[in-house]
Amino acid sequence: MDVNTWKKRLEKLPLGELYLYQELGSTNQVADDLVQQGAPPFSLVVADSQTAGKGRSGRSWVTQPGKALAFSLILYPESSLIEANQLEKLSGLGGLAVAEVLTENLSLNAEIKWPNDVLVDGKKVAGVLVDIHWSGPDLKVVVLGIGINVLKGSVPDYPLNFPASSLEELAGKEFSRVDLLVDVLRAILKWYPRITTQSFLTAWEGYLAYKKEQVTLLSAEDIVDQGQLIGISDNGSLIIQSDSGDENHYRTGEIHLRLVDRS
Ligand code: BT5
Protein backbone atom coordinates (compact mmCIF):
# COMPACT_ATOMS: atom_id res chain seq x y z
CA MET A 1 0.00 0.00 0.00
CA ASP A 2 1.36 3.38 -0.99
CA VAL A 3 0.41 5.21 2.19
CA ASN A 4 0.90 8.73 0.78
CA THR A 5 -1.25 8.13 -2.29
CA TRP A 6 -3.98 6.46 -0.26
CA LYS A 7 -3.91 9.26 2.32
CA LYS A 8 -4.26 11.93 -0.38
CA ARG A 9 -7.32 10.15 -1.78
CA LEU A 10 -8.88 9.69 1.64
CA GLU A 11 -8.26 13.30 2.69
CA LYS A 12 -10.85 14.37 0.09
CA LEU A 13 -13.59 12.62 2.09
CA PRO A 14 -15.29 14.19 5.15
CA LEU A 15 -13.54 11.85 7.62
CA GLY A 16 -11.88 12.36 11.02
CA GLU A 17 -8.26 11.41 11.57
CA LEU A 18 -6.63 8.91 9.21
CA TYR A 19 -4.42 6.06 10.46
CA LEU A 20 -2.83 3.98 7.72
CA TYR A 21 -0.60 1.01 8.54
CA GLN A 22 1.29 -1.52 6.46
CA GLU A 23 0.65 -4.13 9.15
CA LEU A 24 -1.12 -4.29 12.46
CA GLY A 25 -3.02 -6.80 14.58
CA SER A 26 -6.63 -5.78 13.99
CA THR A 27 -8.00 -2.46 12.66
CA ASN A 28 -11.00 -2.85 15.01
CA GLN A 29 -8.65 -3.29 17.95
CA VAL A 30 -6.58 -0.22 17.02
CA ALA A 31 -9.79 1.78 16.48
CA ASP A 32 -10.97 0.70 19.96
CA ASP A 33 -7.69 2.03 21.41
CA LEU A 34 -8.10 5.30 19.47
CA VAL A 35 -11.61 5.71 20.87
CA GLN A 36 -10.12 5.57 24.39
CA GLN A 37 -7.75 8.36 23.32
CA GLY A 38 -10.66 10.50 22.08
CA ALA A 39 -10.43 10.02 18.31
CA PRO A 40 -12.90 12.31 16.47
CA PRO A 41 -15.97 10.99 14.61
CA PHE A 42 -15.36 9.25 11.28
CA SER A 43 -11.73 8.53 12.11
CA LEU A 44 -10.49 5.69 9.97
CA VAL A 45 -7.95 2.92 10.49
CA VAL A 46 -6.71 1.08 7.38
CA ALA A 47 -4.23 -1.79 7.25
CA ASP A 48 -2.53 -3.44 4.30
CA SER A 49 -2.33 -6.65 6.34
CA GLN A 50 -3.59 -7.85 9.70
CA THR A 51 -1.82 -10.36 11.94
CA ALA A 52 -4.80 -10.84 14.29
CA GLY A 53 -7.83 -9.80 12.21
CA LYS A 54 -11.08 -10.46 14.04
CA GLY A 55 -14.24 -12.17 12.82
CA ARG A 56 -17.36 -12.51 14.93
CA SER A 57 -17.48 -14.47 18.18
CA GLY A 58 -13.74 -14.95 18.51
CA ARG A 59 -13.23 -16.22 14.96
CA SER A 60 -10.35 -14.81 12.92
CA TRP A 61 -10.24 -12.90 9.66
CA VAL A 62 -7.25 -13.17 7.33
CA THR A 63 -5.91 -10.08 5.51
CA GLN A 64 -2.98 -10.94 3.24
CA PRO A 65 -0.50 -8.12 2.42
CA GLY A 66 -1.24 -6.22 -0.78
CA LYS A 67 -4.37 -8.23 -1.62
CA ALA A 68 -7.33 -7.03 0.38
CA LEU A 69 -9.01 -4.16 2.16
CA ALA A 70 -9.21 -4.07 5.96
CA PHE A 71 -10.50 -0.94 7.62
CA SER A 72 -12.46 0.34 10.61
CA LEU A 73 -14.52 3.51 10.84
CA ILE A 74 -15.29 5.14 14.20
CA LEU A 75 -18.87 6.39 14.54
CA TYR A 76 -20.44 8.25 17.47
CA PRO A 77 -24.17 7.81 16.85
CA GLU A 78 -26.53 10.36 18.39
CA SER A 79 -28.58 8.49 20.98
CA SER A 80 -31.70 9.07 18.89
CA LEU A 81 -30.05 7.71 15.75
CA ILE A 82 -30.23 4.10 16.60
CA GLU A 83 -32.09 2.30 19.35
CA ALA A 84 -30.53 -0.51 21.33
CA ASN A 85 -32.86 -2.99 19.67
CA GLN A 86 -31.76 -1.99 16.19
CA LEU A 87 -28.08 -2.85 16.30
CA GLU A 88 -28.36 -5.22 13.34
CA LYS A 89 -28.70 -2.10 11.23
CA LEU A 90 -25.04 -1.27 11.86
CA SER A 91 -23.92 -4.52 10.24
CA GLY A 92 -26.51 -3.76 7.58
CA LEU A 93 -24.87 -0.37 6.99
CA GLY A 94 -21.53 -2.00 6.19
CA GLY A 95 -23.08 -4.77 4.12
CA LEU A 96 -25.28 -2.39 2.15
CA ALA A 97 -22.38 -0.03 1.38
CA VAL A 98 -20.18 -2.87 0.09
CA ALA A 99 -22.96 -4.63 -1.84
CA GLU A 100 -24.12 -1.40 -3.46
CA VAL A 101 -20.62 -0.43 -4.63
CA LEU A 102 -19.84 -3.93 -5.94
CA THR A 103 -23.13 -3.96 -7.85
CA GLU A 104 -23.36 -0.40 -9.12
CA ASN A 105 -19.70 0.51 -9.64
CA LEU A 106 -18.11 -2.88 -10.44
CA SER A 107 -21.13 -4.60 -12.09
CA LEU A 108 -20.81 -7.63 -9.80
CA ASN A 109 -23.69 -9.76 -8.61
CA ALA A 110 -23.51 -8.87 -4.90
CA GLU A 111 -25.85 -10.02 -2.15
CA ILE A 112 -25.90 -9.76 1.63
CA LYS A 113 -26.04 -12.98 3.61
CA TRP A 114 -27.64 -11.72 6.80
CA PRO A 115 -26.26 -10.51 9.11
CA ASN A 116 -22.75 -9.63 8.03
CA ASP A 117 -21.45 -11.33 4.89
CA VAL A 118 -21.30 -9.97 1.37
CA LEU A 119 -21.46 -12.63 -1.33
CA VAL A 120 -20.72 -12.40 -5.03
CA ASP A 121 -22.06 -15.29 -7.14
CA GLY A 122 -22.79 -17.05 -3.84
CA LYS A 123 -19.22 -16.81 -2.50
CA LYS A 124 -18.18 -14.71 0.49
CA VAL A 125 -16.01 -11.77 -0.57
CA ALA A 126 -16.43 -9.50 2.44
CA GLY A 127 -17.26 -9.57 6.13
CA VAL A 128 -18.44 -6.89 8.53
CA LEU A 129 -17.62 -6.73 12.23
CA VAL A 130 -19.33 -4.18 14.47
CA ASP A 131 -17.82 -3.51 17.91
CA ILE A 132 -19.89 -1.39 20.25
CA HIS A 133 -18.97 0.68 23.29
CA TRP A 134 -21.76 1.41 25.73
CA SER A 135 -22.01 4.17 28.29
CA GLY A 136 -24.60 2.70 30.65
CA PRO A 137 -27.68 2.03 28.54
CA ASP A 138 -26.60 4.44 25.80
CA LEU A 139 -24.82 3.46 22.65
CA LYS A 140 -21.69 5.59 22.68
CA VAL A 141 -19.27 4.46 20.02
CA VAL A 142 -19.48 2.10 17.10
CA VAL A 143 -16.43 0.65 15.37
CA LEU A 144 -17.52 -0.54 11.95
CA GLY A 145 -14.91 -2.96 10.58
CA ILE A 146 -14.95 -4.26 7.03
CA GLY A 147 -12.70 -6.75 5.27
CA ILE A 148 -12.92 -7.27 1.49
CA ASN A 149 -11.09 -9.92 -0.57
CA VAL A 150 -10.11 -7.80 -3.56
CA LEU A 151 -7.27 -9.56 -5.40
CA LYS A 152 -6.26 -13.15 -6.05
CA GLY A 153 -4.46 -14.63 -3.06
CA SER A 154 -6.62 -12.82 -0.50
CA VAL A 155 -8.63 -15.91 0.46
CA PRO A 156 -6.99 -18.14 3.08
CA ASP A 157 -6.00 -21.57 1.73
CA TYR A 158 -7.37 -23.55 4.68
CA PRO A 159 -10.98 -24.75 5.11
CA LEU A 160 -13.35 -21.86 5.84
CA ASN A 161 -16.78 -21.75 7.46
CA PHE A 162 -18.33 -20.66 4.15
CA PRO A 163 -17.16 -20.83 0.48
CA ALA A 164 -15.12 -17.71 -0.27
CA SER A 165 -13.50 -15.96 -3.21
CA SER A 166 -11.99 -12.64 -4.26
CA LEU A 167 -13.36 -9.94 -6.55
CA GLU A 168 -10.54 -10.53 -9.04
CA GLU A 169 -11.25 -14.26 -9.29
CA LEU A 170 -14.98 -13.70 -9.73
CA ALA A 171 -14.75 -10.81 -12.20
CA GLY A 172 -11.70 -12.07 -14.09
CA LYS A 173 -10.02 -8.68 -13.72
CA GLU A 174 -8.14 -6.63 -11.15
CA PHE A 175 -9.62 -3.78 -9.17
CA SER A 176 -7.93 -0.83 -7.47
CA ARG A 177 -8.10 -1.27 -3.71
CA VAL A 178 -7.95 2.45 -2.96
CA ASP A 179 -10.73 3.27 -5.48
CA LEU A 180 -12.89 0.61 -3.85
CA LEU A 181 -12.11 1.91 -0.36
CA VAL A 182 -13.08 5.47 -1.31
CA ASP A 183 -16.32 4.29 -2.94
CA VAL A 184 -17.34 2.11 0.02
CA LEU A 185 -16.62 4.93 2.48
CA ARG A 186 -18.71 7.31 0.36
CA ALA A 187 -21.57 4.81 0.44
CA ILE A 188 -21.28 4.43 4.24
CA LEU A 189 -21.29 8.22 4.69
CA LYS A 190 -24.34 8.44 2.41
CA TRP A 191 -26.39 5.77 4.24
CA TYR A 192 -25.32 6.42 7.86
CA PRO A 193 -27.57 9.51 8.36
CA ARG A 194 -30.45 7.53 6.80
CA ILE A 195 -30.03 4.39 8.92
CA THR A 196 -33.43 4.83 10.60
CA THR A 197 -35.32 5.46 7.37
CA GLN A 198 -37.48 3.15 5.30
CA SER A 199 -35.25 3.78 2.28
CA PHE A 200 -32.30 2.27 4.18
CA LEU A 201 -34.31 -0.86 5.03
CA THR A 202 -35.59 -1.15 1.48
CA ALA A 203 -32.10 -0.82 0.01
CA TRP A 204 -30.62 -3.31 2.50
CA GLU A 205 -33.40 -5.82 1.91
CA GLY A 206 -32.96 -5.37 -1.83
CA TYR A 207 -29.56 -7.06 -1.54
CA LEU A 208 -30.66 -9.80 0.84
CA ALA A 209 -29.52 -13.27 -0.28
CA TYR A 210 -31.85 -16.32 -0.32
CA LYS A 211 -35.09 -14.30 -0.32
CA LYS A 212 -38.14 -16.63 -0.65
CA GLU A 213 -35.76 -19.62 -0.46
CA GLN A 214 -35.66 -22.42 2.10
CA VAL A 215 -32.97 -21.78 4.69
CA THR A 216 -31.66 -23.27 7.88
CA LEU A 217 -30.67 -21.13 10.86
CA LEU A 218 -27.89 -22.63 12.90
CA SER A 219 -26.48 -21.78 16.28
CA ALA A 220 -23.08 -23.49 16.48
CA GLU A 221 -24.08 -26.90 15.07
CA ASP A 222 -27.68 -26.85 16.30
CA ILE A 223 -30.59 -26.13 14.00
CA VAL A 224 -32.55 -23.19 15.42
CA ASP A 225 -35.15 -22.90 12.67
CA GLN A 226 -35.92 -23.97 9.13
CA GLY A 227 -38.21 -22.29 6.68
CA GLN A 228 -38.59 -19.64 4.02
CA LEU A 229 -36.56 -16.46 4.30
CA ILE A 230 -39.05 -13.59 4.12
CA GLY A 231 -36.98 -10.45 4.66
CA ILE A 232 -35.81 -7.91 7.23
CA SER A 233 -38.09 -6.41 9.88
CA ASP A 234 -38.30 -2.72 10.81
CA ASN A 235 -35.62 -3.15 13.49
CA GLY A 236 -33.25 -5.15 11.27
CA SER A 237 -34.15 -8.66 12.47
CA LEU A 238 -34.33 -11.51 9.97
CA ILE A 239 -37.84 -12.83 9.28
CA ILE A 240 -38.32 -16.55 8.66
CA GLN A 241 -41.62 -18.22 7.79
CA SER A 242 -40.96 -21.37 9.74
CA ASP A 243 -41.92 -24.80 8.38
CA SER A 244 -44.21 -25.04 11.42
CA GLY A 245 -46.15 -22.06 10.02
CA ASP A 246 -44.97 -19.42 12.53
CA GLU A 247 -43.31 -16.19 11.46
CA ASN A 248 -40.14 -15.88 13.55
CA HIS A 249 -37.80 -12.90 13.92
CA TYR A 250 -34.10 -13.38 14.68
CA ARG A 251 -31.44 -11.05 16.06
CA THR A 252 -27.82 -11.70 15.09
CA GLY A 253 -26.23 -13.22 18.20
CA GLU A 254 -24.62 -16.47 17.24
CA ILE A 255 -26.92 -17.36 14.38
CA HIS A 256 -25.67 -18.61 11.01
CA LEU A 257 -27.69 -18.78 7.85
CA ARG A 258 -27.43 -21.61 5.31
CA LEU A 259 -29.33 -22.26 2.11
CA VAL A 260 -31.06 -25.64 2.17
CA ASP A 261 -29.50 -27.90 -0.46
CA ARG A 262 -32.41 -29.35 -2.40
CA SER A 263 -30.33 -31.26 -4.93
C1 BT5 B 1 -16.68 -11.86 9.55
O2 BT5 B 1 -16.67 -12.72 10.61
O3 BT5 B 1 -16.96 -12.15 8.42
C4 BT5 B 1 -16.24 -10.46 9.91
C5 BT5 B 1 -14.92 -10.13 9.30
C6 BT5 B 1 -14.53 -8.70 9.58
C7 BT5 B 1 -13.12 -8.43 9.17
C8 BT5 B 1 -12.76 -6.97 9.29
S9 BT5 B 1 -11.23 -6.62 8.56
C10 BT5 B 1 -11.23 -5.04 9.25
C11 BT5 B 1 -11.78 -5.19 10.65
N12 BT5 B 1 -10.73 -5.47 11.60
C13 BT5 B 1 -10.86 -6.71 12.13
O14 BT5 B 1 -10.08 -7.21 12.96
N15 BT5 B 1 -11.95 -7.29 11.62
C16 BT5 B 1 -12.66 -6.43 10.71
P17 BT5 B 1 -17.26 -14.19 10.58
O18 BT5 B 1 -18.63 -14.20 9.95
O19 BT5 B 1 -17.15 -14.64 12.00
O20 BT5 B 1 -16.29 -14.99 9.64
C21 BT5 B 1 -15.04 -15.43 10.10
C22 BT5 B 1 -14.72 -16.73 9.36
O23 BT5 B 1 -14.51 -16.43 7.98
C24 BT5 B 1 -13.45 -17.42 9.81
O25 BT5 B 1 -13.71 -18.34 10.86
C26 BT5 B 1 -12.97 -18.15 8.55
O27 BT5 B 1 -13.64 -19.42 8.40
C28 BT5 B 1 -13.49 -17.23 7.43
N29 BT5 B 1 -12.46 -16.33 6.89
C30 BT5 B 1 -11.35 -15.84 7.48
N31 BT5 B 1 -10.70 -14.99 6.67
C32 BT5 B 1 -11.42 -14.95 5.52
C33 BT5 B 1 -11.27 -14.26 4.29
N34 BT5 B 1 -10.28 -13.39 4.06
N35 BT5 B 1 -12.23 -14.48 3.34
C36 BT5 B 1 -13.26 -15.31 3.53
N37 BT5 B 1 -13.46 -16.00 4.68
C38 BT5 B 1 -12.55 -15.81 5.66
**CA 128–ligand 1 middle distance (angstroms):** 8
Ligand 1 pocket test target in 19, 21, 61 with most atoms within 8 Å of CB: 61
Tell whether ligand 1 has an atom less than 6 A from the beta carbon of residue 124: yes
Q: How confident is the model at residue 84 (pLDDT cuts 50, 70, 90)?
A: low
Tell whether ligand 1 has an atom less than 6 A from the beta carbon of residue 161: yes
Mean pLDDT along residues 73-86: 76
**Is the pLDDT score of 263 beyond 90?**
no
Q: How confident is the model at residue 82 (pLDDT cuts 50, 70, 90)?
A: low
- pLDDT at position 79 is 67
Name the percent of the chain lying above pLDDT 70.
Answer: 93
**Is the pLDDT score of 183 beyond 60?**
yes
Tell whether ligand 1 has an atom less than 6 A from the beta carbon of residue 116: yes
Instruction: Please tell me which residue, 132 or 154, carries the higher pLDDT value.
Output: 154
Give the number of other Cβ atoms within 10 Å of residue 140's Cβ. Answer: 13
Q: Whose CA is nearest to atom 25 of ligand 1?
A: 59
215: nearest Cα among 184, 178, 165, 255:
255
Q: Whose CA is nearest to atom 27 of ligand 1?
A: 160
**CA 62–ligand 1 middle distance (angstroms):** 6
- pLDDT at position 218 is 87
Tell whether ligand 1 has an atom less than 6 A from the beta carbon of residue 165: no
Mean pLDDT along residues 146-158: 97
- Cis ω on the peptide bond leading into residue 115 (within 30° of 0)? yes
**CA 3–ligand 1 middle distance (angstroms):** 24
Instruction: Please tell me which residue, 80 or 114, carries the higher pLDDT value.
Output: 114
Instruction: Please tell me which residue, 32 or 83, carries the higher pLDDT value.
Output: 32
Tell whether ligand 1 has an atom less than 6 A from the beta carbon of residue 115: no
pTM of the model as a whole: 0.95
Mean pLDDT along residues 145-156: 97
Tell whether ligand 1 has an atom less than 6 A from the beta carbon of residue 34: no
Instruction: Please tell me which residue, 245 or 255, carries the higher pLDDT value.
Output: 245
Q: Residues 87, 132: contact at Cβ < 8 Å?
A: yes
CA distance 92 to 80: 18
Name the percent of the chain lying above pLDDT 90.
Answer: 78
Q: Residues 221, 25, 71, CA angle at the centre, nearest 5°?
A: 85
**Is the pLDDT score of 261 beyond 90?**
no
Tell whether ligand 1 has an atom less than 6 A from the beta carbon of residue 200: no
Q: Read off the pLDDT of residues 187-207 as tens digits, 9 standing for 90 and up.
A: 999 999 999 899 999 999 999
Mean pLDDT along residues 173-181: 97
Q: Read off the pLDDT of residues 29-40 as tens digits, 9 standing for 90 and up.
A: 999 999 999 999
What's the mean pLDDT when you consider all of the chain?
A: 92
Tell whether ligand 1 has an atom less than 6 A from the beta carbon of residue 114: no
